[in-house]
Structure 1
Amino acid sequence: MKLTGERPMQGQTPDSLLALHAAGYREVLDRVGTGRMLDLGCGLADGTITFASPDRMLVGVDYDQPTAANAVAMHPGVDLTTVCSDGAKLPIKTGSFDDVCSSHLIEHFVDPEFHVSEVARVLDDQGRAFFLTPNKPADFENPFHVYLFEPDDLRAMLGRHFDSVEVLGLDATPIVKADFEKRRNMANKLLKLDPFGLRHKLPRKAFVWLHETGRRVAYRFTNTEQVGGTSGITADDFFTTPEIDPSTLVLLAVATRPKR
């Protein structure tokens, strides 16, 4: 797989971003029970396997067939089943899972309402659903992030499909947030090369290619000591908080009591 910005990749994505994703999975793990667990947008399952346990049936879903197949191949010691499917139209029976995780996926849908509705549908009446997504004011421009949320927006959308919704922030230490800010500043410098926003008028393929190229250039200058675990940044540098402000990196929503 090549670095596009759509998925985090070991050895290419900055340590801080990988740690952010790992911290999100850790926070979900702290809140799940035993039984049937579904991870939507599982990618190569590097995060999904966090949930592996003898008392948990683990299923991952990804829209890309080779990725879904490789996820199982890359983790031969894990009891993991993967399915290739659109996260807005799941081939899964209603009420089939005790816990459902949607990590950094909801922002990839032009209309996330269908995705949220499907999560509510496949969740058991007593189950828990978890949504992790960038906090809109703190996010970078990314052609794959087509629908961003602020806390009230996320709470409102989830509230149409669940009777109980809690939205927390997933934030980081000042040193880690400075690392994010460094890359954000680099990205903003590159975007200033297009003051009239002509990139948004390009065909989607060209727009994505432009971002992929810019990302590789930016990472080359900012990632020399920030990949491969050399930065020292880990999931331990991230924490949940009820206090959410524009600098909070990620939103973590816990939704229960799905509406049918």
Structure 2
Amino acid sequence: MTTAPVHHPDLRDFYEDPAVPVASGTPRSLRQARMLAAALGPAGAVPRTVLDIGCGDGTAAATAAPLLSGHRIVGVDWSQDALTRARTRLTYAIRGELTGGGLPLKAGCADAVLFSEVVEHLVDPDSALDEIRRVLRPGGHLMLSTPNLAAWYNRALLLAGVQPVFSEVSLRAIHGRPGKEVVGHLRLYTARALREFVTAAGFEVVGLKGAPFHGVPRPLRALDRLACSRPSLASILLLHARKT
């Protein structure tokens, strides 16, 4: 997913590059959408508003839409290129930043926020959660997903002196770890760190689940799915929190 961490020309150019991935795996999006659908319940006479902040090309929101029938999904992204693609999939897609001037939205306007694969790209995640908290109504839901620094294979890689998967030391190339694709990860969280971070931002953590990573080699995917039963070992962290 894309967003603009700071007003920095090099980072802006990086995230506006069409070659930079702007979508996560479909299974992950479905898991997150099921969590949100269970939290929101059936749509009533007045549709609830769900913001997909860092919507990228809109794939994740479009995947979630059938599970959120009757609710209004609004995609928000900084990248104009991503929004152009998102508008082919979403009825509502607007440009906005979590830092700087903030989102062009009123306080308390949203019932839920999807925040998928964004926080790891941010220079100032504290201000980002402040802004998300501002646009959520009291008791509103935050569904956040991010790679797990302490994923089962990262623990083994670190013991072997290898840079963990998901971490990046350059925006130009991958160095010291498996993989070839640069996606702009600036921060990584363990399950414990994510819980503490979100709680400190004024949210109550409702639950934390694990999800597999599509980039795991095929022979290891069964093990990766098994690790989801223990979020602290899973590839991806799916956190559900509510605004206090």
TM-score by length of 2: 0.66
Q: Distance in 2 between matches of 1:103 and 1:37?
A: 13
Q: What do the CA deviations read for 1:108-145 (whole angstroms, capped 9, x no partner)?
A: 10121111111111001021111111111234334411
Q: Distance in 1 between matches of 2:241 and 2:40?
A: 12
The correspondence for 1:85, drawn from 84, 90, 96, is 96
1:51 maps to 2:65 = yes
Shift in Å at residue 65 of structure 1? 1.6
Q: What do the CA deviations read for 1:71-91 (whole angstroms, capped 9, x no partner)?
A: 12x22xx5x211111133211
1:98 maps to 2:84 = no
Higher RCO structure, 1 or 2 (CA under 8 Å, sep 6+): 1
Q: Distance in 2 between matches of 1:60 and 1:183?
A: 35
Contact 1:126/1:257 (CA < 8 Å) preserved in 2? yes
Q: What letter is aligned with 1:70?
A: R
Q: What residue ranges of structure 2 are gaps of 5+ in the alignment?
A: 1-16, 152-164, 172-183
1:61 maps to 2:83 = no
Count of matched residue positions in the alignment of Structure 1 and Structure 2: 189
Q: What letter is aligned with 2:73?
A: L
Q: What letter is aligned with 2:116?
A: S
Partner of 2:236: 250
CA distance 1:105–1:97, change in 2 (3 Å):
same
Q: What letter is aligned with 2:122?
A: F
Contact 2:58/2:86 (CA < 8 Å) preserved in 1? yes
Identity %: 23
CA distance 1:256–1:27, change in 2 (3 Å):
closer
The correspondence for 1:159, drawn from 199, 214, 234, is 199
Partner of 1:19: 27
Q: Distance in 2 between matches of 1:63 and 1:158?
A: 22
Partner of 1:140: 166
Q: Distance in 1 between matches of 2:203 and 2:86?
A: 34
Q: Distance in 2 between matches of 1:119 and 1:239?
A: 30
Q: Distance in 2 between matches of 1:110 and 1:181?
A: 30
Q: Distance in 2 between matches of 1:66 and 1:104?
A: 18
CA distance 1:140–1:161, change in 2 (3 Å):
closer
Contact 2:22/2:57 (CA < 8 Å) preserved in 1? no
Is the partner of 2:40 in helix, strand or coil?
coil
